[in-house]
Amino acid sequence: MKPEIARQLLDLNYLFYQTFADQFSATRQKIQPGVDRLMAEISASRSILDFGCGNANVWVELARRGFLGTYLGLDFSSHLLDQAARQVCADHQLSTDHPLPHFALVDLIDPDWGAQMPAASFDAVLSFAVIHHLPGQELRLQFLQQIHRILETDGSFYFSVWQFLNSDRLRQRVRSWTQVGLSENQVDPGDYLLDWRSGGLGYRYVHHFSPTELHEMAELSGFRVVKSFYSDGKGDQLGYYQVWQLEK
């Protein structure tokens, strides 16, 4: 994919998550069932990086489970980080036993977003419903290389990708690329444009991953897949979850 097309798709998603932050956050007040399934492992971590933390619903659940480690949440939407700050403030008023999290604004296309973090500085990296918003293999591998660098030797990378084509309702949200001034030959196979209708009309770029594609990405970026499962939505088919560890 050409860099200028990747930038256009990232800008499209940035506009969406800024414009519809409140409406999107309202649909993410609880963690997804797949995240809940992994929560026992995640909450046992000492240091967590949550890439694409959104409104901090993962941190709220961690705090409720007694997590006492360090937590850093990153997102590219300042409006969603505002939502996160409000969530943390409300939750911390209920209990002061857990340490406060930290949040930072990042640019998904910045190749050095992790450069200021020491190598092997987290024993758990989370990225739920994020990778499918990264356009093109080059950008995805660049992102995974940063994860590889900051993950401790025995740490785990937990993530999910959206499997919207498994839903008849969501398949009806797929729109022509001409709606945003692009054509099919400018994007990659598996790339889709989905509309959003709550609070106005918006568009998001999403890549639909296959398990084979994810396994290939793991190998190319120096990881091994240690766990895979489907979860979420009707029939537990809307999210595909994997846990990766560093290849040894």
Q: Give me the domains of the chain, ranges plus CATH numbers.
A: 3-164+208-246 (3.40.50.150)
Kindly report, residue by residue over 213-239, the tens digit of the pLDDT. 999 999 999 999 999 999 999 899 999
Q: Within its chain, how far is the Cα of 134 from the centroid?
A: 10
**Predicted local distance difference test score (pLDDT) of residue 119:** 80
3-class secondary-structure state, position 75: strand
| Whole-model pTM over 0.75 | yes
Helices (H), 151-233: 168-171, 211-220
Range 164-187 average pLDDT: 95
Buried b / exposed e over 106-122, threshold 16 CB at 10 Å, is eebbeeebbeeeeeebb
Please give the order of strands across the beta sheet that includes 223-231.
102-105, 70-75, 47-51, 122-128, 151-162, 239-246, 223-231
Check pLDDT > 70 for residue 92. Answer: no
Residue 113 predicted with pLDDT over 80:
no
Query: Taking 60 as the threshold, does the pLDDT of residue 68 lie above it?
Result: yes
